[in-house]
Amino acid sequence: MDKMRGPSGLGFMKMHGAGNDFVVIDSRGRGAVVTPALARALGDRNRGVGFDQLAEIRDSDSADFALDFWNNDGSRAGACGNATRCVADYMMRQLGKDAISLITARGGLSALRLPDVRVSVNMGPPQLDWQSVPLAQAVDTLHLPLAGDPVAVGMGNPHCVMFVDDAEAVDLPAIGPRYEHDPLYPERTNVEFASLTGPDRLRMRVWERGAGITLACGSGACATAVAAHLRGLTGRRVTLDLDGGVLEIDWRDDGVWMTGPVAHVFDGQLSPEFLAAHP
């Protein structure tokens, strides 16, 4: 991928993890280039490139690289597990490694490639107290005072997890935005609906803050697995069937590990005219 921003434009990659799709921009060696205006323009699936989240690779003095995340409405995303796995795969190939370290707004994370070429990332320990999710007031995070009796979990970004009889029957466009903007979540929230389909197996659908319906959400899968275990529905190792594919979650002593597929779809270049129109 051409990393340089100049007369010829700006290089980018399009990637996805279980259908959760991303634009990735490598800003190492030149400083951050993504702005809210550029993220919004790129996120437009008709006038830009289109993505669920944008990931910007930056230099780091304490890890192999750093990552910043943006939603397609131009807002910042605190964490993005599937994008982390995709970029980790790219960086491991570039650096000739099978394990790698990175820095996000969440802090230091680690990722590795498995023999079956899937990629695992340690998303860190879940945030389970109301201040760190964060919530607007002190409440029982395992039983929120909201319709549907949801669970609040932080994974570097806030989540509202609801267990339902049939996740397929949930009207996400109608229900998701109401919870995303509920006053209990001062920074808005991702909203997950999950149903138990077998021993340690869940069907999950998601409404992401700043993005809407997505085919998968890595941090949401982690939050849902944590909530399911805390509610006594599953063990600490859970398989989740999402609209775009399957993710495996393992809540270990050192953090919540997420494993799944990655795909590098294509490389492209943003034109100088497009960049000039969205500084």
86, 160, 217, 222: which is the annotated catalytic residue? 217
Report the run of H or E that residue 145 belongs to, with start and end: none
Is 86 considered catalytic here?
no
Report the run of H or E that residue 61 belongs to, with start and end: none
Is 217 considered catalytic here?
yes
Asked if 73 and 61 count as a contact pair (C-beta separation under 8 A), the reply is no
Pairwise CA distance, residues 91 & 88, whole Å: 5
Tell me which residue of 62, 78, 193, 182 sits closest to 132, measured CA to CA.
78
Pairwise CA distance, residues 238 & 225, whole Å: 6
80, 86, 160, 222: which is the annotated catalytic residue? 80
Residue 210: partners with Cβ closer than 8 Å, 6 or more residues away: 71, 72, 73, 75, 77, 188
Active site residues: 80, 217
